[in-house]
Every structure is written in C-alpha cells, then in structure tokens.
C-alpha cells in the first residue's frame, strides 16, 4: 500500500535518512522503532508530506505522492503531542473538521468510547494530556482512512483508554487497513504489531516479522530478541 524507495533526507550536515527502502502493506500493523534520532519521525513526516525528501520516492497504492496532496485523505495521523486551537471546544473541533472534509462515511467509535461527546463543551486548553490524546486518537480514525500513522499512540493514556485504543488498532488491521505505529513500549508492540522496522542512524537495520525475530534468536520476548540482534551486530 505504501512503498518507499531510496528515501534520503538531510538537515544541513545531518544525514537523517540514508536511502530507506520499505513496503507497508494492507492488513498489517507495522511498528517503526529505534533510538532517538534514528529517523523515525522524519520518515513519518515524509510519508505525510510534512517534510520533503531530498531524494527517493513514496508511493501510495502505486501512485507517486509527489505534488499530489489529495493522497492525505487516505491517511489518519495521530501525533505524539497534539496541538489544537486553545480556545476551541472539543465539539467545535470535530464539527469544523467534518465540515471541511464533507465525508459521509465516518468512524466515530472512539469519540463515544472515550465519552468525548459528553465533554464537547470543554475548551482544548483545559484538557489534560491524556484527554488531548483521546481527542487525537478519535480524530485519526474519524474519516475511516485506509492508512493510520500513530506516533506513540498510548503515551499519556490511562490503562483503560490504552486497552480501548489497542483494540481499535487491531480491529483496523482486520478491516484491511495499514497501520504504522511508533512506540518505545515493547510489550505493546509485541501485542499489536506484525512486523518491526528498526531504524538506526538513518538506515533500516532490520525489517522482519515478530515471529521471525523470535525464531532467529530463540527468544520468547520481543525486547530480548531485538537486544540480542543489536548486540550481535555490534561485534560483527
């Protein structure tokens, strides 16, 4: 569904992406992980069109996204920290976006699961970090996108809200959607993801299924499997 070819990006002398090749397919949850500064956010922003790559191409459904902003209608994005007009109320925010998109097929499940309809009169500036995350999650799914890009989606959520979102992500997978998540919580990655892309210093260190990672290392826990691979590569 999303194909990335030879993607490169520099910020001044800092070479952030170094020829990334990747395929993100339908009906899968792919977790993009790696240490801070590895290029995860830049890769996501290139796919979203928020950052323009210096070299390489990105395709959505075999169509080059370059110069074509309409492809973004197919993507739901949840930023790690949502930024919204401070004085706008929750209900106004959702109404505004519905009016802009004018889309009939909506997915309002999280809106009601998180009871955001019951606090629609609250201004965004008054919300806790966790409630703001709930708003971001509900907006990411609202327009029933074929692709979901979720950056640290459970950060700041309480345990119940986290379980609701994880169930929603897994449901999206069964509906044939492509879900790309970043997370530092390996237990959640193991629970949700089918594949792991590990970025390190702008390169794809490995891109494998969780079952292959465990089989190759003999480890039952994902975190230990990844740690073993990284230790071996340090001494090669």
Q: Is 200 exposed, middle or buried (0-12, 13-18, 19+ CB in 10 A)?
A: middle
| 113 falls within a domain | no
Please report the pLDDT score of residue 81 as a whole number.
87
pLDDT tens digits along 123-162: 999 999 999 999 999 999 999 999 999 999 999 999 999 9
pLDDT tens digits along 5-41: 999 999 999 999 999 999 999 999 999 999 888 999 9
| 124 falls within a domain | no
**Mean pLDDT rounded to a whole number for the chain:** 93
Could you tell me where the beta strands, DSSP code E, fall in the chain? 2-11, 14-24, 28-33, 55-60, 63-64, 75-78, 147-151, 178-182, 195-200, 203-209
Q: Which residue has the higher pLDDT, 184 or 119?
A: 119
Structure tokens at 19: 């020829």
Q: If DSSP codes are grouped into helix, strand and coil, which group holds residue 50?
A: coil
| 105 falls within a domain | no
Q: Taking the model in full, what pTM does it have? A: 0.93
What is the C-alpha to C-alpha distance for residues 99 and 222, in angstroms, rounded to an integer?
Answer: 43
| 184 falls within a domain | yes
| 168 falls within a domain | yes
Q: Is 98 exposed, middle or buried (0-12, 13-18, 19+ CB in 10 A)?
A: middle
pLDDT tens digits along 62-112: 999 998 888 999 999 999 888 999 999 999 999 999 999 988 889 999 999
Which residue range is the domain that position 183 belongs to? Answer: 2-83+144-234
Quick one: which of 194, 192, 188, 199 has its CA closest to 223?
A: 188
| 166 falls within a domain | yes
| 96 falls within a domain | no
184 pLDDT more than 90: no
Q: Is 31 exposed, middle or buried (0-12, 13-18, 19+ CB in 10 A)?
A: buried
CATH number at residue 64: 3.40.50.300
pLDDT tens digits along 31-44: 999 988 899 999 99
| 22 falls within a domain | yes
What is the C-alpha to C-alpha distance for residues 154 and 133, in angstroms, rounded to an integer?
Answer: 8
The residue-averaged pLDDT of 195-206 equals 94
If one counts the domains in the chain, the total is 1
């Amino acid at each position: 569904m999303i194909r990335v070819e030879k993607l490169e990006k520099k910020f001044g002398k800092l070479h952030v992406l170094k020829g990334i090749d990747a395929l993100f397919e339908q009906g899968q949850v792919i977790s993009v992980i790696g240490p801070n500064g590895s290029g995860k956010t830049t890769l996501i922003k290139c796919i979203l069109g928020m950052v323009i790559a210096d070299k390489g191409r990105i395709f959505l459904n075999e169509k080059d996204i370059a110069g074509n902003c309409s492809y973004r209608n197919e993507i739901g994005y949840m930023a790690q920290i949502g930024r919204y007009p401070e004085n706008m109320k929750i209900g106004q925010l959702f109404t505004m976006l519905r009016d802009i998109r004018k889309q009939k097929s909506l997915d309002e499940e999280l809106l009601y699961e998180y009871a955001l309809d019951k606090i629609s009169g609250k201004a965004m500036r008054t919300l806790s970090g966790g409630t703001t995350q709930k708003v971001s999650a509900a907006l990411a799914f609202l327009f029933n996108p074929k692709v979901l890009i979720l950056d640290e989606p459970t950060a700041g959520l309480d345990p119940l809200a986290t379980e609701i979102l994880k169930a929603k992500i897994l449901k999206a997978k069964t509906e044939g959607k492509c879900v790309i998540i970043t997370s530092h919580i390996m237990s959640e990655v193991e629970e949700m993801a089918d594949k792991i892309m590990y970025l390190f210093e702008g390169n794809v260190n490995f891109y494998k299924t969780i079952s292959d990672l465990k089989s190759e290392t003999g480890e039952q826990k994902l975190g230990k499997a990844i740690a073993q691979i990284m230790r071996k590569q340090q001494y090669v």
